[in-house]
Structure 1
Amino acid sequence: MRTVTLTDVFAHPIAQKYLKRSGLAHAITAAYHAYHLALRHGVNVDLATKAALLHDIGHYTWYKNGRWDYEQYRQNDIHAIKGAERAHKLLIRLGEHPQNAKEIALAILLHTDSYLPEGEWKRTPLQAIVKWADEADEEPGGRHHYRTISDDLAWKKIRQLDELVSRQHGKERLGDIV
């Protein structure tokens, strides 16, 4: 049983604040990519969509002279660290199972290589899916963070994705019982 839905997460003021700061359209698109990737790779769609939705909530806005400074961001950003912490705290507050909250936070922590030392990192399947979902929606110069979506359309897309996740989650649970 899902104790915390995507709608629950999306409705929370903390999620609203940081999703809008980091790019709401990108977060929702990444969540849809994560759903399809999770289905394809046999990963828990509930965890994948939550992690992808929240993957950039740690972003800080890097500006120089009133303009977005992509290079400053690329050199100094640690948004995945801050985002993992924010997501974990938010999910625990909402009543997410602590192990699920930890898995989601770790997937957010490892969704990007931008702050990690050089070398290959072995990711879990969930962590890989969140990374791929983010990459599937990237645009040069970080422009994906600045695409817009209306609040009404954002809510509609979240509710639709939540319904897909609920149906799939029910199938997964049924498979565990049989």
Structure 2
Amino acid sequence: MRKVTLMDVYTHPVAQKYLNRSGKAHAIACAYHAFKLAVQAGINPDLAVKAALLHDIGHYEWYTAGGEWDYETYRRNDIHAIKGAERAHKLLIRLGEEPKAAKDIALAILLHTDSYLPEGDLHKDTLQQIVKKADEMDEEPGGHHHYRQIDESLAMKKITELDQKVQQALQPMKRSV
């Protein structure tokens, strides 16, 4: 039994604040990609969809003096995965998520991008690889994926649908005799 649903996470005011900043349409698309990848890999889809939904909640808005989005400054200086991992962990613990699950989700968020890491290979577990891949599957040049819009009623419908898919995937298979 899941203690915290995706809807619990999505509707929390902290999540809403940062999902609005980083792009709800992108976050929801990534959660769907993560669900499919998690099921294919045989890992817990609940952790994958939560990590993918929250993967960009650490974004800071980088603008030029003229008010234009400065994508290059963002790419050179952003550490959103660090802040996002911290925010997600705190949010999940407040919501009552199991501490180990909250930590695994936060680590997947921390490692979903290597833009701030030093050169070299870092071993990533399957959940961490899935969140990175889900993000890459929805990327658009110049960071435009963060600016796609989604109607709130459609977003709620998609979150509800994804919660149902996760619940079904977590149910043990019933044998017919």
CA distance in 1, matches of 2:168, 2:89: 25
Quote the offset at 1:131 in angstroms: 0.2
Are residue 155 (structure 1) and residue 156 (structure 2) matched? yes
Q: Which residue of 2 aligns with 1:41?
A: 41
Report Cα offsets for 1:25-59 as digits up to 9, x if no partner: 00000000000000111111000000000000000
Quote the offset at 1:96 in angstroms: 0.1
Partner SS, residue 68 of structure 1: coil
Number of residue equivalences: 173
Write out aligned runs for 1:1-178 (5 A).
1-64=1-64, 65-171=66-172
Quote the offset at 1:23 in angstroms: 0.5
Quote the offset at 1:120 in angstroms: 1.2
Query: TM-score, with normalisation over the residues of structure 1?
Result: 0.95
CA distance in 1, matches of 2:28, 2:20: 11
Identity of aligned residues (%): 69
CA distance in 2, matches of 1:144, 1:116: 22
Q: State the one-letter code of the partner of 2:55.
A: H
CA distance in 2, matches of 1:91, 1:48: 14
Q: State the one-letter code of the partner of 1:15.
A: A
Quote the offset at 1:169 in angstroms: 1.3
Report Cα offsets for 1:72-129 as digits up to 9, x if no partner: 0000000000000000000000000000000000000000011001111110000000
Gaps of 5+ in 1: none
CA distance in 2, matches of 1:69, 1:149: 23
Report Cα offsets for 1:131-165 as digits up to 9, x if no partner: 00000000000000000001111101000001000
CA distance in 1, matches of 2:122, 2:151: 37
Query: TM-score, with normalisation over the residues of structure 2?
Result: 0.96
Runs of 4+ with deviation above 2 angstroms: none
CA distance in 2, matches of 1:110, 1:130: 8
Partner SS, residue 149 of structure 1: coil
